[in-house]
Copies of this chain bind each other. A is one copy, B any other.
Amino acid sequence: MGRKVCQQDHGQSRQNSNGHSNDHLFSTHVQAVIVQLSRPVLRPGFRPDARLWRGGIEGNFEVTISMYDASVGLFVPYLRNLSALLDKGVAYAEARKFNPAVLLGMRMAPDMYDLAQQIGEACRHATVAAALLADREPVALPVLEHDMAGLQARIATSIEFIESLPRAEINAAAERNVFFRLKNGTELPFTGRTLLLTFSVPQFFFHVTTAYDLLRHAGVELVKKDYLGRR
């Protein structure tokens, strides 16, 4: 069973790209509890040891996935990957001397969104989900046009908006009631957690993958690493 034990390194908080620790709220709180416990208590012979307690408390604790990592932490890198996929589509069109906008009109089926719309949907699901979790209005994206520069700007605007949202608000949204408004006006009720796991993350990956599939179907030379991003 030894190697199945949760391996936490409590000496070094993990730092993410914008410098916050992923678990600073947890750590701060545990410190506060330890301070209380390290005071002498009345029971004879009982003298809590802060170091032991620290191990006991933190060692038993479940390390999980934060709402921020499961939303912003997925949407931003995969929007960047989507942008890179489009760049490869443009390079392919230029090499074969056709207008890259032709790619943007391609569809899997007559009643499915075309490539431009798939990109629009990926941006929409990422920005709306992140905004709902942060309890902010989503960024206003312009009317969708079938031009590569406009779509790249749309992706960049989406990333900038998502990265501007407050981490603490998103991390506190797991149990909050949120409502996703469909284009027909219907509002679907979720909690923050069910929004991500049952709707927004699957929707987001659907549209990024379908964009990849359309480009591959058109002959653009992509490999799975272009979808996954370079490690």
CA of A132 to CA of B229 in the docked complex: distance in angstroms? Answer: 22
Binds B, one of A93-101, A138-146, A150-158, A169-177: A169-177
- Taken together, the copies of this chain in the complex come to 2
Number of residues on chain A facing chain B (CB within 8 A): 70
Kindly identify which residue among B6, B42, B74, B199 contacts A174, using a CB–CB cutoff of 8 Å.
B6
0/1 string, A51-94, CB within 8 A of B gives 1: 00000010011111111011001100110000000000000000
Measured between beta carbons, the chain B residues less than 8 angstroms from A196 are 65
Measured between beta carbons, the chain B residues less than 8 angstroms from A171 are 62, 64
Would you call A124 an interface residue if the criterion is a C-beta within 8 Å of the partner chain's C-beta atoms? no
Question: Residues of A at under 8 Å CB distance from B?
Answer: 3-9, 23, 25-26, 29, 33, 36-37, 39-43, 48, 57, 60-67, 69-70, 73-74, 77-78, 108-109, 112, 135, 169, 171-177, 188, 193, 196-199, 201-203, 205-206, 209-210, 212-213, 216-217, 219, 224, 227-229, 231
